Structure formats: C-alpha cells, structure tokens
Chains A and B, each alone.
Chain A
Amino acid sequence: MKRQVPLVLCFVFGIAMIFTRFSPHSVSQWIYEEVISWVLIIGPFALVLATVTLIQTHTTRIRRRTEHWQYSLVVFAGLTIMVVIGIRFGPQNSIFEWLYNNVQLPMDATMFSLLAFFIASAAYRAFRARTFEASLLLITAVVVMMGNVPMGDFIWNSIMSWSPWADKVSEARQWILDNPNLSARRGIILGVSLGVISQSIRIILGIERSYLGGGD
C-alpha cells in the first residue's frame, strides 16, 4: 500500500502517456488532454506545500531569533501582499500589476544582471590560455562577445584592419554558432536524450525508486 500503489500509479500514468502520444484515436486524445489537465491541477498543490515549508523555515528563524531574523518578516510581507491581492482581485488587477512591474520585475532583472559582474570576475581569474583547449574556449568566447555588439565590431575592425578578416567578426560569430557550436550541442543533446529515455524507462518499470524516499 505504501510503496506498491505509488509504483503502480507511476507505471499506469507513464504507459498511458506513451500510448496516448502515439495513438490518434479520439478516446486516446481525450485521455491525453485529461491527464495534462490533472497535472496542471496537482502542480499548484505542490507549490502551496513548498510555500508552507518556506513559512515554517522563516517562522522557526523568527521564533529562535537567529541572526538576521528580522528579514524573515520581509519575506512574509512580500508573500502576503502578493498572495492576498493576487488571489482576491486576480493577476489582471492594477495593484498586482504595479507590484509586478515596479517590485518583482526590476529585482528579477537586477539579480540576473549581477551575474555579469561575477562572470567577469571569475573569467578574469580563471581564463588562462595555458592549453590548446583553454585557448579555443577563450578565443570562441571573445569572438562571440565581440560579434554581438557594435562596439565589438569597432574594436575588431580597428585591430584587424590590416587582415582579410576585417569587418567579419559578426559573420565569424554566426559561423561558429551555426557549425562547431551546433555540432557540440547536438552531441550533448543526443547523449542527454538517450540518458533521459533510459532513466524514464527505469522509472516507469519501477527499477528506479529513489523518488519514493526512505522508510516503509
């Protein structure tokens, strides 16, 4: 009951999804669409559970007065305001949209733009053309970056004006992306895909059971 039923459910849903994908019959297509809607219904419950866990974690921090516990109140404030306004009035509400446009969106963009500094700092420390492979990586990265922006074009043209490759950095970037980069990417995609398929078969057949966790 505790382990066998989940294995059976996993098998049934897995096999059902494979068969319905290959069968054009109307019943098969109805099952396919129904199961997809089931997953879209079950998904939000998992998100709510994750939120409950987040609340528990921050409640514990506040109760125990751990270092910087005051900021847990900020988490609660942000969460509560978004959920109350969003659920009460809907995501099209003007206050909800104002919060999204002026609070979440700027912070999201700023957080990701911070990586520009960290990547630049890491690259300065780690990029050393010591081997042939490292040089390839370095040269490719430089060409791709320069080919992306007008300033890169200008610098490239200034340095390479004497050579037949002047004014060609954008074309070089595109050629790298479309040929050697794509072939490496295809190799990785093919390898990963074969791994995904074999792992999926193991899960459906109940060979891989780690998702059940420990215990009975």
Chain B
Amino acid sequence: MDFWSLIGIWVAAFLTLSIYSVLYQDNPFYRFAEHLFVGVSVGYGIVLSIYQGFIPFAWKPFVAAVEGESSSGFIKLIPICIGLLFFARLSPRHTWLIRYPIAILIGFGSGIAIPNVLRANIFEQTRGTIAPFAAIHAGTLSGWGTFEAILMVIGVICTLTYFFFSVEHRGPVKWLSKVGIAFLMIGFGSAFGNTVMGRVALLIQRVDFLLSDWLNIIS
C-alpha cells in the first residue's frame, strides 16, 4: 500500500469516528467534520456542475465559434448572460433581475414536467394496474394472479379515495378511505423497513471499513 493510500485511510477513519462521536454528545470533532463536509460537498458540486454543464454546453461551443469552427456557439452567449443575471441578487437595486433566470428555469421545469409526468406516472402506472386484466380475459392468469390483480385495483382506488377531499368521507366513501389507510400503512411500513435496512447497510459498510481497512482486525 502506497503512502497516500495509507494517509487516506487514516483521514477517512478519523472523519468517520469524528461523525460517530455525536452519538455520545455534540463535540468539537463532530463540529469540525460537519463543517468540513459542508465545504467539501459544495466545492465538489461546483466543480462537477462546471465540468459537466458549463464547459461542455457553453464554453467549448463558444470558443469553437470564436475560433471560426462553428457559428452556432455564439447563441450560447444568451444563456450565459441569463445565468449572470443571478448575481443581480447581490445588488439591492437590481434584485428584481433574478426573476428572469428563475422564470426560465421554472417555465422549463413546468413545461417538461407535464408530458413526462403524464406518460411515466399517469399512463404507465394506470396501464400497469389494469394490464393484468387482459391476461384474466384471455384466461392465462392463475387464480392467485387474478386475486393479486384485483387486490392491486382495490388498493389503488382506495388509496386515491383517501386523498379525495371533494366529497365528505361518509358512508361507502368512508369505508373505501379506511381500506385506503390500511394500504397506505403497508406502503409506509415497507418504505420504513427498506430505509432502515439501507441505513444499516451503510453502517455495516463503515464498520467494515474501520475493522478491515483501518485496523486490519478482519480480512
């Protein structure tokens, strides 16, 4: 193992233990690691967004246009100027100019959301819910599969009913929404179980790092 790899393991171990030290109580080591994490993460985000966004999509086409290789790169000056308007936020008199880039980003986000959400979340999810009924109609689905398909439709309808506030939840609507709550609880329980296991997997990975890479206790 080379020198810098060894230093890296010791640095990572020190930072890992510093963060875990908060489980006892707040202390200077945790505060140090916490603040370092903020600074390093922001710095990493800036570098990535510049190298993966600004340089390939703005800087390189613009330089190519200046060098006469392609004239279309000059159009990139428009988004660059719009992006620079973000810094109007730093001048109290010109703060309102920040609305231009924000309006463009929000308009873009809203416009792209409508067709994408329609296709991926509404049409596809609805299709997935009712598609097994084609197999039931064709007689290719087993009895258990039919039960699962019916359960799926009941679950979706009852869950939607629970969130439907245009009518008062009385009578049949109340019972449908009660069944919807039961499905929601199963959904939340699954999400909770998966989240816990995901975090525990991370914890195991960190403990494994400390015991094998750092202390060499296990191999």
Chain A residues engaging chain B, CB cutoff 8 angstroms: 2-3, 5-7, 9-18, 21-22, 34-35, 37-52, 54, 68, 71-72, 74-83, 86-87, 90-91, 96, 98-117, 119-120, 123, 132-134, 136-145, 148-149, 176-194, 196-197, 199-201, 203-204, 211-213, 215-216
- Chain B residue with minimal CB distance to A181? B190
Q: Are B19 and A186 in contact (CB under 8 A)?
A: no
Instruction: Report yes or no: B57 in contact with A200, Cβ–Cβ below 8 A.
Output: no
Sorted nearest first, the 9 A-B pairs with minimum C-beta distance are A187-B159, A183-B155, A82-B43, A78-B39, A17-B111, A140-B189, A144-B193, A86-B47, A184-B187
User: Known contacts A54-B42, A188-B159: does B183 contact A113 (CB below 8 Å)?
Assistant: no
- Counting residue pairs across A and B whose Cβ atoms lie within 8 Å, the total is 390
Q: When the two chains form the complex, which single residue of B12, B114, B154, B155 contacts A201, counting CB atoms closer than 8 Å?
A: B114
Task: Decide: A17 and B15 in contact? CB cutoff 8 A.
Answer: no
Q: What sequence of 0s and 1s flags, for each residue 135-159 of chain B, a beta carbon within 8 Å of any chain A beta carbon? A: 0000000000000100111111111
CB pair B40 A99 closer than 8 Å: yes
Cross-chain contact A46 with B86 (CB below 8 angstroms): yes
Band of interface residues on B = 35 or more
Q: Are B39 and A183 in touch, CB under 8 angstroms?
A: no
Within the complex, which residue of B46, B106, B185, B202 is in contact with A109, where a contact is CB–CB below 8 Å? B202
The docked-state distance in angstroms from the alpha carbon of A39 to that of B104 is 8
Q: Are A14 and B111 neighbours in the complex by a CB distance under 8 Å?
A: yes
Complex Cα gap A6–B98 (Å):
9
